[in-house]
Chain A
Amino acid sequence: MAKTQSAEPLVAPDVLERVLAAGRSTGAEFSEVYVEDKRSTSAGLDDGKVEQVTSGRDRGAGIRVVSGETTGFAHTSDLSERGLLAAAQAAAMAAKQGGGGVNKVQLGDVLRHSVNTVKVAPDGVEKSRKVELLKRVDAAARAVNASIVQVSAGYGDSRRRILVANSNGVLSADEQVRTLLRVSVVATGDGGMQTGYDSLGHTIGFEMFDENDVEELAIRAAKQAVTKLSARPAPSGAMPVVIKRGSGGVLFHEACGHGLEADLVGKSASVYRGKMGELVASSLVTLVDDGTMTAEWGAIGIDDEGHPSQRNTLIQDGVLTDYMWDYLRARKEGRAQSGNGRRQSYQHLPMVRMTNTFVLNGKEDPDEIVRNTKQGVYVAKLGGGQVDTASGDFVFGMTEAYLIENGEITEPLREGNLIGNGPEVLKDIDLLGNDFAMGNPGTCGKDGQGVPVGDGQPTLRVRSLTIGGTAA
């Protein structure tokens, strides 16, 4: 971690000091300025045509003032000192506790904590090259099979500069670059239409396309749709489920990730409350949340409260070792933050969020895991999910799955949800592979805010999960 003087901060440090002081003018003990300047480019191709290239600019500041248990928050797109002071006063009034007085705030040097190296800044790349990627994806997907009738592809990049300063003296900056490519395919056959989807996203620049083959991405999505044309209805009832490496991290995101967020635990809205030090999963499971994981979708230099990202082990050999923390929840418990205070934009309050969440390797040969499963379902691609953290019940969609019969992967299955209970499913993991991989880039939604997250796992087996199919 290098401490350097900022070349051109989004807002001058002396202005920040005055705004922070204004935030505390009604007696609050904490004030914070979060400044964001984000530029983005996106392009969409559908039905064989590049429909639209979009350029976007989002710039503004959110001011947070905390007094006791109360948070006041205001945001503004006016980054002048006058605009920032007005927002600080609004936030201060919102958190007013009757006190008063001027509180001087002094900031030191800007802390920068960078986890990624961007080789080719995407905003310096010709838009025509970005559009060209989409045309290649379209052509490659359509070439897979005559049954492919529609292709939609999207490209997006963003460069987000943030600056966080607070009355405790924190002054941190980060520049977060993200580059994304996604493709959706429709195939048609006798039994109707089926879809395929794949995506590629990293916290690096346009060099992502030197290191990854976009045609391969398109072909994978197209084959998924074509395969499903001959899919049979998924079974119903509970049975063993094998989840392919890098496709099922969302299981942990839903089964326990959200439940380990300290804001939910603090309100006893998590099934994992009061379980610290207890066995909450199969002893095979070690779960990590790591914001420093280079180039992965959830990687960040600092979190949105100015705290450097870090690697946190949440479950060690099945035992719950820690929750994830933001400033407010850590302050309440008198402990250190964990780099998990995140927000969607300057217009949002930060809260406890995951970054890259994954399960470490086990020892099994992945092929053996399938061979040792007499009857069950093999999930090659999971979609999104949803969890009720209080009961622990969660669902996730399987977008590509197959039957396992006598230790072999056989027929493709139609789509459906899987349902389980977090603590039960974690304990039911009975085989863990040695083939760890990260999965697709994701967006995690909580309380109306979306943030980019990553997930990953080796091939694994859950002894019993309920498959939401239609077949008896």
Chain B
Amino acid sequence: MTVGVPDLQKLADSVVEQAKSGEQIEAYVSRGGETSVRVYEGELEHFVSAQSEGVGIRIIKDGRTGFAYAGTLEPSAIAEVLAEARDNIQFGTVDQWAGLAEPDGVQQIPQKFWDEELASYPTDKKIEITKELEKLTLAADSRVRSEQSNYEDGWGETAVSTTTGIRESGRGNSCYVSVATLADDGDEAQTGFGFSVGDSPKEFDLQKAAREAADRATRLLGATKPASKKVTIVLDPYVTSQFVSILSSALNGENLAKGRSLFADRLNEQVADARFTLVDDPTNKLAYTATDIDGEGLAARRNVLIENGVLKMFVHSSYSARRMNTKSTGNATRGGFAGGPGVGCLAMQVQPGTKTQAELIASIDDGVLIQDVAGMHSGVNTISGDFSTGASGIVITNGTLGAPIREFTIASTLQKMLLNIVDLGKDIDWLPMRAVGLSLVISDVMMSGS
């Protein structure tokens, strides 16, 4: 990584140096802190200031893996974690592909993850911003109430060392504001939210966050339940981002190896409409989840996954790559010190189309603009491909937006939805999520209502 953290790297090295004959060891150490400010009705509701640290140690011997972690960096605890991880090896099954990543010569693309201005930003200004966001939100529409206005920032430092020669360390910080709203009309209440992210608070667009939070809550007031029918849907960028994110599971090389990918046996086949090109590119600094290394310490890289609708590749960690007799694509994921690496897309980007959302809507006779979905975790099965989510949105009739609707579902299968992509917007939105947002038009989706 671009900026090293020598003391953490040394700590990780000191663990790895204790490897016994025949052992591969990976030490992952991290520490970080966060500030969380919440304002409600002009008053500071809570202020959280917290620091945490921890170590995770993975040991592989004779094809067996053991792992242990602790939420502290005390020397005695690290010794205990090493002993526990070593003890856990004996219970694993021999796996001929088990192993750590090895340096592959791919160069890292330097990026900036640390902002000095954020690091020294005064506490009272953070509280001021949070109050200002609430004030702007309430001013945006007289029907809007506040549920909470938040400021959050965090910093983290990590280091990973392995007996196979990986040595990486780095630090980063980030911040965002968000506001949750309620809008009332008689007995009816609807909710909304808005947010803004930046390298430092000076990059926040509070006005935009406030306006979105007010709009989201008010636009559904008076919404009714629609009748069931087949429709063309336009996914709002925020919804498209969630839709694209779930494809990560089907493009995951470990899921492929274990027979859990709905794209198995489809390599170089048409799996989506020809207008759809999907890239995983954590080296693009515009992506919220941009990174220079993956969860095993290999350089992050740009991978074209689906090109003009044709499935070009799966993403791999060093483990899934060994299983599939290929090379890591730099797609190991990691949730922190408490777990080992997994596999997944890091920063998914859809190649944009040429139209604005308004132009996309203008070309639809009978459809729905989907502004929010619920139950992505409960109604979408990434193995079978069954897709069903709760939704709310606005009716499109003869190219024009009409009345708001809610309490309905949209359903199809992931396989069909990809092939039924009719158009894409040019309205790229770099949301604070794993996938980029843009407007996406999908035909032949079942809307289920009354």
CB-CB contacts below 8 Å: B340-391 with A: 340, 374-375, 377-379, 381, 383-386, 388-390
Shortest A420–chain B CB gap in Å is 7
Interchain CB contact under 8 A, A417 and B147: no
Contacts of A49 in B (CB 8 A): 92-95
Q: Mark B85-103, 1 if CB is under 8 A from A, else 0.
A: 1011001111100000000
- Asked if A334 is at the interface of the complex by the 8 Å CB criterion, the answer is no
- Asked if A128 is at the interface of the complex by the 8 Å CB criterion, the answer is yes
Interchain CB contact under 8 A, A70 and B43: yes
Q: Mark A91-107, 1 if CB is under 8 A from B, else 0.
A: 10011000000000000
- Asked if A47 is at the interface of the complex by the 8 Å CB criterion, the answer is yes
CB-CB contacts below 8 Å: B139-176 with A: 145, 147-148
Interchain CB contact under 8 A, B446 and A236: yes
Q: Mark A125-146, 1 if CB is under 8 A from B, else 0.
A: 0011011000000000000000
Say which residue of B53, B340, B377, B386 sits within 8 Å of A416 (CB atoms).
B386
Point out which of A51, A60, A391, A419 has the most chain B C-beta atoms below 10 A from its C-beta. Answer: A419
Q: Mark A367-409, 1 if CB is under 8 A from B, else 0.
A: 0000000000000000111101011011111000000000000
Interchain CB contact under 8 A, A127 and B91: yes
Interface majority SS (helix, strand, loop, mixed), chain A: strand
Bound-state Cα–Cα, A238 to B258, Å: 38
Interchain CB contact under 8 A, A468 and B409: yes
Contacts of B379 in A (CB 8 A): 383, 395, 397, 415-417, 468
CB-CB contacts below 8 Å: A19-74 with B: 43, 45-60, 68-74
How big is chain B's contact interface, by range? 35 or more
Contacts of B49 in A (CB 8 A): 72-74, 90-91, 94
Say which residue of A77, A130, A386 sits within 8 Å of B72 (CB atoms).
A77
Interchain CB contact under 8 A, A74 and B48: yes
Shortest B169–chain A CB gap in Å is 20
Contacts of A414 in B (CB 8 A): 384, 386
Q: Mark B395-423, 1 if CB is under 8 A from A, else 0.
A: 00000000000111111110000000000
Contacts of A394 in B (CB 8 A): 374, 390
Interface majority SS (helix, strand, loop, mixed), chain B: strand
Bound-state Cα–Cα, A36 to B447, Å: 48
Contacts of A237 in B (CB 8 A): 228, 448-450
- Asked if A472 is at the interface of the complex by the 8 Å CB criterion, the answer is yes
- Asked if A116 is at the interface of the complex by the 8 Å CB criterion, the answer is no
Interchain CB contact under 8 A, B93 and A51: yes
- Asked if A310 is at the interface of the complex by the 8 Å CB criterion, the answer is no
- Asked if B47 is at the interface of the complex by the 8 Å CB criterion, the answer is yes
Interchain CB contact under 8 A, B446 and A395: no
Closest-by-CB residue of A relative to B180 is A269
Bound-state Cα–Cα, A150 to B409, Å: 30
- Asked if A117 is at the interface of the complex by the 8 Å CB criterion, the answer is no
Shortest B73–chain A CB gap in Å is 8
Say which residue of B71, B378, B408, B413 sits within 8 Å of A384 (CB atoms).
B378
CB-CB contacts below 8 Å: B12-64 with A: 40, 43-53
Shortest B184–chain A CB gap in Å is 8
Q: Mark B291-303, 1 if CB is under 8 A from A, else 0.
A: 0000000000000
Interchain CB contact under 8 A, B40 and A267: yes
Interchain CB contact under 8 A, A470 and B47: no
Bound-state Cα–Cα, A129 to B340, Å: 23
With A192-B385, A466-B408 known as contacts, the answer to whether A51 contacts B48 (CB < 8 A) is no
Contacts of B71 in A (CB 8 A): 57-60, 77
Say which residue of A127, A397, A419, A469 sits within 8 Å of B88 (CB atoms).
A127
Interchain CB contact under 8 A, B228 and A416: no
CB-CB contacts below 8 Å: A196-251 with B: 228, 234, 236-238
- Asked if A431 is at the interface of the complex by the 8 Å CB criterion, the answer is no
Say which residue of B94, B389, B409 sits within 8 Å of A466 (CB atoms).
B409
- Asked if B188 is at the interface of the complex by the 8 Å CB criterion, the answer is yes
Interchain CB contact under 8 A, A51 and B191: no
Contacts of A50 in B (CB 8 A): 91-93
Bound-state Cα–Cα, A319 to B339, Å: 46
Interchain CB contact under 8 A, B91 and A349: no
Interchain CB contact under 8 A, B409 and A417: yes
Interchain CB contact under 8 A, A268 and B262: no
Closest-by-CB residue of A relative to B60 is A52
Q: Mark B430-450, 1 if CB is under 8 A from A, else 0.
A: 000000000000000011111
Contacts of A444 in B (CB 8 A): none
Bound-state Cα–Cα, A76 to B73, Å: 12
Shortest B342–chain A CB gap in Å is 11
With A55-B84, A57-B77, A269-B182 known as contacts, the answer to whether A417 contacts B69 (CB < 8 A) is no
With A53-B66, A195-B383, A269-B147 known as contacts, the answer to whether A75 contacts B228 (CB < 8 A) is no
- Asked if B260 is at the interface of the complex by the 8 Å CB criterion, the answer is yes
- Asked if B79 is at the interface of the complex by the 8 Å CB criterion, the answer is no
9 contacts between A and B (CB under 8 A): A55-B84, A69-B43, A150-B258, A192-B384, A236-B411, A268-B189, A419-B375, A466-B408, A470-B412
Other 13 A-B pairs with CB < 8 A, given A76-B51, A195-B381: A50-B93, A52-B340, A57-B72, A57-B80, A59-B72, A71-B47, A75-B50, A77-B71, A149-B259, A268-B145, A397-B375, A397-B388, A421-B407
Across the A-B interface, the 9 shortest Cβ-Cβ residue pairs: A468-B409, A397-B378, A417-B379, A236-B448, A416-B388, A395-B375, A395-B390, A94-B47, A49-B93
> Chain A interface (Cβ within 8 Å of chain B)?
43, 45-60, 68-77, 90-91, 94-95, 127-128, 130-131, 149-150, 186, 188, 192-195, 228, 234, 236-238, 267-269, 271, 347, 349, 383-386, 388, 390-391, 393-397, 414-417, 419-421, 466-472
